[in-house]
Structure 1
Amino acid sequence: MKTIALFGASGQTGRQFFTKALAQGHRVKALVRTPAKLSDTQHPNLEVIAGDVLNPADVARTVQGADVVVSLFGQVKGSPPRVQTDGTRHIVAAMQKHGVVKIVSLSGGGLPFAQDQPKFMDKLIRGIMKLAVPQVLADAVGHAEVLQRSDRQWVIVRGPRLTNAPGTGHYRVGWVGVNAGTSLTRADLADFILTQLDDQLFVGKMPMVSN
C-alpha cells in the first residue's frame, strides 16, 4: 500500500479517486483550498491539508512522506491562466526535494502526443478548443512540458468527455484516434489511475482512456 499525495481531491474525479484508493488500503494526503468541501468524508487514512497548489510550501507539505503523486487539478472558472503549469512546477520541485519519483497527472484529449492518429473529428474538436478555450489548452500543454523536462517518472492520463454514470469495470486504453471512445465514467477513470501507481507501461507517455 502507498501514501499518495493528491492534488484536486475536491473535484468530482478526485472524490472518485480517493474513495477507491482508501478502499484499497492506500493512505491519501489531499491538498485542498477549502477543507470544508471534504467535511463529509472521514477516514483514518485520509489527511486533508489546507492550502493552495500555487503555494510551494503547501505543496511540499503534501508531497513530503508520499510514495507517489496523483495530480487531478486543472483549469476551472476563475483559475489563473497558468494554474496547472505553475502548480505542476511546484509539485515537481517538491518531488525532487523529498525524493518522490513518480507522478500520474490528468489531462484531456486535446493535449497532443506523438502516438496519436487523430481523425477528422479529433482535429475538429482540438481546433474548436484552440478557439473557444485557448487558456485551458495552453495550460495543459504547459503542464505537460514541465513534466517532460523533469527527471521524474510521469504518466499523463488523458480522457474524453467524463460522466458520473456508474463505473463499468471495463475501459479502453489507446491514443487519440486509436482505440478511443467518446466518453468515460469518472469511476472507470479512477480505476485506471490507480493501476498507474505501480504500472510502468505508460511512464513517459500519455494514454487515452475511454469506455
Structure 2
Amino acid sequence: MKTIALFGGSGQIGKLVLEKVLKEGYKVNALIRNPTKIDISDSNLNVIKGDVLNENDVLKTVESSDLVLSLFGHVKGSPEWLQTEGTDYIVEAMKKSDVDKIISLSGGGLPFPEKDKPKLADKMIRFIMKVAVPQILKDAILHAEVLRKSNLDWIIVRAPRLNNDKPKHNYRVGWVGVNASTKISRADVADFIVKQIESDEFKHQMPFVSE
C-alpha cells in the first residue's frame, strides 16, 4: 500500500482525509505544526512535528512517501505567500525524492481558463475575492503556477463554499460555470480527494467539486 505525505492534516478537510486514507490502509507521513491537534492513533500514521515553510521538515515528510496530499491553507496570521512558498518546498522535496504525484487543494476563486466558463455570479464571486482577500487569491494563483511549471503529475482540487453537512456521495465534478453549484460539504471534498490517489483522470487539471 502506498505511503502518503500529508500537509494540512490538522485542518477541517485534512482531518477527514486523514481518517479516510488510514481506514483504507494507506500509510501516512503527516507534517503537523502542533501534533496535539491530531487525536488519531494508528500504526500507519507517522506524525512529524514541523512546518511546511521549513525545507528540512518538508523533505523529511516527503522522502519516504509515494505521493503528496497538499491540503494546507491560510489561517489567521499566516504568512502572505504561505501556499506558494510551501508548495515550492514540497515540489523541490518531491524532485529530490523521486515522488511524481501531488494533489493540492484550493478554492473556487482560482481560475482554470482551459475549462472554466464562469457565469455572472461566478465573476462576481471572483471580483469580491479580489477586493476582500486579494492576497489569498494571488497566493493560490502563484501556487498553481509552481505546480504547472514543476513537470510533476499534479491535480488541483477546487471547491466553492464549504459546509459541514453529511456527505452526499453524489456530488458533481465539473468546472466553474460548468456542471457546478455554489456549495459542497467538506466530507464530499475529502471523498473526492481520496479517490484521486489511485486515479489519473484529472492529471494536470483543476476539477471543481460541488453539490
SS, match of residue 197 in structure 2? coil
Aligned to 1:189: 189
Alignment of 1:152-191 (within 5 A): 152-191=152-191
How does the TM-score come out when normalised to structure 2?
0.98
How does the TM-score come out when normalised to structure 1?
0.98
- Distance in 1, matches of 2:170 and 2:45, equals 27
- Distance in 2, matches of 1:15 and 1:197, equals 16
- Distance in 2, matches of 1:188 and 1:7, equals 19
SS, match of residue 196 in structure 1? helix
Letter in 2 for 1:156: I
SS, match of residue 117 in structure 2? coil
Aligned to 2:53: 54
**For structure 2, which runs of at least 5 residues remain unmatched after alignment?**
none
CA positional deviation for 1:170: 1.4
Matched, 1:7 2:7: yes
SS, match of residue 197 in structure 1? helix
CA positional deviation for 1:203: 0.5
- Distance in 2, matches of 1:168 and 1:180, equals 15
Aligned to 2:43: 44
Letter in 2 for 1:70: L
Matched, 1:29 2:45: no
Instruction: Point out 4+ residue stretches in structure 1 off by more than 2 angstroms.
Output: none
Aligned to 1:117: 117
Letter in 1 for 2:52: V
Q: Deviations over 1:67-125 (max 9, x none)?
A: 11000011111011000000000000000000000000000110000210000000000
- RMSD across aligned C-alpha pairs, in angstroms? 0.7
- Distance in 2, matches of 1:200 and 1:64, equals 22
Letter in 1 for 2:41: Q
Q: Number of residues paired by the alignment?
A: 210
**For structure 1, which runs of at least 5 residues remain unmatched after alignment?**
none
Alignment of 1:68-107 (within 5 A): 68-107=67-106
- Distance in 2, matches of 1:178 and 1:186, equals 20
Q: Deviations over 1:161-204 (max 9, x none)?
A: 11111111111000000001111111111111111112111110
- Distance in 1, matches of 2:177 and 2:91, equals 30
Letter in 2 for 1:129: M
